[in-house]
Amino acid sequence: MKKILYAAALAAGLGATGVLAAGAVQAQTPPGVLVVGQIAEPKSLDPHAVTAVNDFRILMNVYDGLVRYKDGTLEVEPSLAESWTISDDGTTYTFDLRDGVTFHDGSALTAEAVKFNFDRMLDENHPFHDTGPFPLSFFFSAIDSVTAEDADTVTFKLKEPYAPFLSNLAYPTGLIVSPAAVKEHGKDFGRHPSGTGAFRFAEWESNAKVVVVRNEDYWEGAPSLEAIVFRPITDANTRVAEMLSGGIDMMVEVPPDSVATFGNDASYQVYEQAGPHVWFLIFNVKEGPLADKKVRQAVNYAINKKALVENVLQGTAEVAAGPTPPAFSWAYNDELDPYPYDPDKARDLIKAAGHEGAELTFYVTEGGSGMLDPVPMGAAIQADLAKVGLKVDIETYEWNTFLGKVNPGLEGKADMAEMAWMTNDPDTLPYLALRSEAWPDKGGFNSGYYSNPEVDKLLEAARSSTDQAERAKLYKEMQAIVHEDAPWAFIANWKQNAVTSAAVSNFSLQPSFFLILKDVTKG
């Protein structure tokens, strides 16, 4: 009897293994359906309620804004708005909406619908303001009022001229949602999204997938893909394993170690695109050795940025020359070169300033949005500075703690800190982090207390001008001054990457770091 039982158990065990392995011929992803490996579970599919690039990657395919970035650039072009006019004083923007566009739920895109979108975000008394919070609504804090002139014309009145307004409209926070769907689902709109985009929302299975399907009625023509499945896979190694085992067709944020593996294999295609990102060190210019411009320049000379980018970051970034990333091609001053690696010159400058052997406290973070590899970067920088006789003490903090220490200002705490920003307009970073009016006590991010009246004047003028050529000239001038003053050490501009299987074509990464999939084909 016992023997029979043993035999039965053994047979059952073997049988089960057989069945499991028989499902074995691992299902490849279905044709016409693109499976994308994302880095995290989305927080919400309400574009006004989210802040993460990870969520934007889905949203940009489900919604449209009034304007959008032209393919491959950070310049705006018409989208839901066919055209627009700006008043001479730069405070009134009038948009002419595209005819015959409907939301996925069947309701029509009207001027009233556009007004609803911005009122919901900005007006605390709006009946649907409680469907928020809307953390990035300050992108539109310049708006005084939104008026629906007629069914197809909407006017934005600004409190003061604000040049980044158009590029903020192209940002995901400016995407237009269906008022009917917000009214129907209230606080749960983020799980029942409805927009006008190339793909319609179909299904969200928590922690497993978000599925969007082709919008046959898309105003620009239906996309070729039947559906896209976004899978959250937080661990980078697991994402790589899924790509190698055929479980996904596309992955974003490929670890540097794996880029070469994919690049050498004809079954895969690697994409890279530099974006509006800058990785830098904030210097405390208020006190200590770094109050002296010579020492700040010396640190810029002493850091071997090329080695950092090639060895620590393994080619996933490029050396930065100044405060503005080259991705803003129209506003970038290409006459500026990065500070060359020159330890001798650094030593001379430190000697001239009388700060030989100075000790510096350096805040390093363990990781965080856009921070790349902050700990090894910090250690390499420490070693470079030791070579020119500066003793650097590193203090490492978890990201939230780090922000809590750096954002209120470095005074009395540290001489320098790592930082990285990703923005959508050349105005944002310098305006928030380099002006005298942006010192921490005034609510800005100028944690190192840099102050140069000339820079202040240029930034204010660039913000209120609506002429792009004029703005470009002002930004270029600002970059030259900041480059010379060196309130930061300019280190790197991150290149975003992605890998697709060879079956995927017509794909390109955007400098905005958004993932635009409407033209992608698979097969």
Partner 1 sequence: MLAYTVKRLVLAVPVLLGLTVIVFLIMAMIPGDPATAILGSYATPENVERLNRQLGLDRSLVEQYFVWLGNLLQGDFGRSYNLNRPVIDEVLERFSATLILAGASLLLCSIFGLIAGVVSAVRQYGWTDKIVTFFVLVGISVPSFWLGLLLVLAFAVTWRLFPASGMFAIYGGGDLPDLLHHLVLPAITLAVVATGVIARLTRAAMLEVLRQDYIRTARAKGVSERRVIYRHAFKAALVNVIPVIGVQAGFVLGGAVYIETVFQWPGIGRMLVTAISTRDLLLVQGGVLVVAASYVLFNLLTDLLQHLVDPRLRS
- Residue indicated by tokens 């830098």: 280
- Tell which one of 172, 289, 378, 444 touches partner 1 (CB under 8 A): 444
Give the residue with the Cβ less far from partner 1, 199 or 341: 199
DSSP code for 440? G
How many angstroms separate the CA atoms of 417 and 414, rounded?
7
Q: Does 16 bind partner 1 (CB under 8 A)?
A: yes
Q: Judged by CB, which is closer to partner 1: 122, or 154?
A: 122
231 lines the binding site for partner 1 (CB under 8 A): yes
Q: Which member of 108, 180, 222, 241 binds partner 1 (CB under 8 A)? A: 241
β-pair partners for 158: 143
Which residue lies nearer to partner 1 by CB, 83 or 369? 369
Q: Which of 1, 4, 27, 266 binds partner 1 (CB under 8 A)?
A: 27
378-407 footprint of partner 1 as x/- string (CB under 8 A): --------------------xxxx-xx--x
Beta carbon nearer to partner 1, 135 or 354? 135
Task: Determine the size of the site formed for partner 1 (CB under 8 A).
Answer: 63
Question: Which run of H or of E encompasses 469?
Answer: helix 468-485
445 contacts partner 1 (rule: CB under 8 A): yes
At its nearest, how many Å lie between partner 1 and the CB of residue 24? Answer: 5
Asked if 7 touches partner 1 (CB under 8 A), the answer is no
273 binds partner 1, rule: CB under 8 A: no
- Compute the distance between CA of residue 158 and CA of residue 145 in angstroms, rounded to an integer: 7
Q: Minimum distance from CB of 350 to partner 1 (Å)?
A: 31
The CA distance from 523 to 507, in Å, is 13
132 binds partner 1 (CB under 8 A): yes
83 touching partner 1, by CB under 8 A = no
Look at strands 153-158 and 92-97 and give their pairing: antiparallel
Check: CB of residue 94 under 8 Å from CB of residue 149: yes
Cβ distance to partner 1 smaller for residue 23 or 100: 23
For residue 25, state whether it binds partner 1 (rule: CB under 8 A): yes
What is the bridge-based pairing of β-strands 277-283 and 153-158?
unpaired
Which of 110, 428 has the CB closer to partner 1? Answer: 428
Nearest distance in Å: CB 410, partner 1: 16
Q: Does 422 bind partner 1 (CB under 8 A)?
A: yes
Q: Using the rule CB under 8 A, give the single segment among 217-225, 302-310, 387-395, 440-448 that binds partner 1.
A: 440-448
Q: Is 245 in the site for partner 1 (CB under 8 A)?
A: yes
Among 209, 294, 457, 473, binds partner 1 (CB under 8 A): 209
311 or 369: whose CB is closer to partner 1?
Answer: 369
d(CA 140, CA 132): 15
Q: How far is CA 188 from CA 181, 183, 285, in A?
A: 10, 10, 47
Exposure class string for 461-494: b at 16+ Cβ within 10 A, else e: bbbebbeeeebbbbbbbbbeebbebbbbbbbbbb
Enumerate residues 6+ apart whose C-beta is below 8 A from 167: 69, 74, 76, 424, 425
Per-residue contact track with partner 1, 164 to 203, x per CB under 8 A? -----------------------xx-xx------------
- Contact between 109 and 489 under an 8 Å Cβ cutoff? The reply is no
Q: Which residue type sits at 235?
A: D
The candidate with the shortest Cα–Cα distance to 278, out of 10, 495, 522, is: 495
CA neighbor of 42 nearest in space, from 246, 200, 211: 211
Q: Which of 24, 216, 264, 357 binds partner 1 (CB under 8 A)?
A: 24
Cβ nearer to partner 1, comparing 35 with 60: 35
- d(Cα 38, Cα 61) in Å, to the nearest integer? 14
* Residue 421 interacts with partner 1 (CB under 8 A): yes or no: yes
The token duo for 181 is 């769907």
What is the 3-state secondary structure of 319-347? ECCCCCCCCCCCCCCCCCCCCCCCHHHHH
Does 35 bind partner 1 (CB under 8 A)? Our answer is yes
Stretch that binds partner 1, among 39-47, 316-324, 460-468, 476-484 (CB under 8 A): 39-47
Candidates 131-139, 147-155, 323-331, 495-503: pick the segment binding partner 1 (CB under 8 A).
Answer: 131-139
What is the H or E stretch that residue 305 is in?
Answer: helix 305-307
- Any residues with CB less than 8 A from the CB of 7 and at least 6 apart, and which? none
Distance CA 463, CA 240 (A): 43
CA angle 298, 435, 391 (to 5 degrees): 25
Residue 17, SS3 per DSSP: helix
Which residue stretch of 23-31, 56-64, 287-295, 317-325 sits at the interface with partner 1 (rule: CB under 8 A)?
23-31
Quote the distance between the C-alpha of residue 348 and its chain's center. Answer: 39
Piece of the chain touching partner 1 by CB under 8 A; list 24-32, 260-268, 285-293, 467-475: 24-32
Toward partner 1, which CB reaches closer, 242 or 477?
242
Taking CB under 8 A as the criterion, the residue among 135, 221, 263, 340 binding partner 1 is 135
Positions touching partner 1 (CB under 8 A) are 16, 19-21, 23-27, 29-30, 33, 35, 40-41, 43-44, 46, 49, 51, 132-133, 135-136, 138, 187-188, 190-191, 206-209, 229, 231-235, 237-238, 241-242, 244-247, 368-370, 398-401, 403-404, 407, 421-422, 432, 443-445
